[in-house]
């Protein structure tokens, strides 16, 4: 009898938390989408100093991610605190004419502990724009998505 009452009390407690508290897996403010802003970018230019500029922007905004420079463009990803993510995104769009794809789940594909410059030879293309896979690699092999 006592065990039955305890089970019923636990059931009522959990029910109240779920229904009245609006529990959906994680409390508001703790979900990744509440805390981060993640996106991919493609900048239609490349220069020797662009990675340094992107790195400085990441460091000053507490973001992490990566960039990769080719002969014609610079691509990469940022994941930033929600409070500054849109500002970083807008800076890339306004100052560097970046094409942006925002990740609704905020998750970037390559995670590093700091903002990293990737070697040009590493395949980093995606299934969709910006930086969509396509065409042939230098070795004649079909370019395939790594990420």
Instruction: Extract the tokens encoding 61.
Output: 């905004």
Q: Which residues of the chain have pLDDT under 50?
A: 23, 136-142, 147
For the chain, the helix, strand and coil percentages under 3-state DSSP, each to the nearest 5: 35, 25, 45
> What is each CA distance from 37 to 18, 105, 123, 124, 141, in whole angstroms?
28, 8, 24, 20, 35
pLDDT digits (tens, 9 = 90+) for 9-31: 777 777 666 665 554 555 666 78
Task: Determine the pLDDT at residue 68.
Answer: 96
DSSP state of 71: S
DSSP state of 126: B
pTM: 0.72
């Amino acid at each position: 009898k006592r065990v039955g009452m305890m089970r019923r009390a636990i059931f009522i407690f959990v029910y109240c938390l779920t229904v009245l508290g609006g529990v959906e897996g994680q409390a508001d403010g703790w979900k990744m989408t509440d805390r981060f802003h993640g996106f991919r970018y493609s900048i239609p230019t490349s220069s020797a100093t662009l990675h340094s500029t992107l790195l400085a922007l990441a460091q000053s905004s507490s973001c992490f991610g990566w960039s990769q420079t080719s002969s014609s463009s610079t691509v990469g990803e940022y994941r930033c605190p929600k409070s500054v993510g849109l500002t970083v995104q807008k800076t890339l769009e306004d100052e560097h004419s970046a094409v942006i794809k925002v990740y609704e789940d905020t998750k970037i594909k390559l995670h590093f502990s700091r903002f990293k410059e990737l070697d040009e030879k590493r395949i980093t293309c995606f299934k969709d724009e910006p930086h969509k896979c396509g065409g042939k690699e230098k070795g004649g092999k079909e370019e395939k998505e790594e990420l």
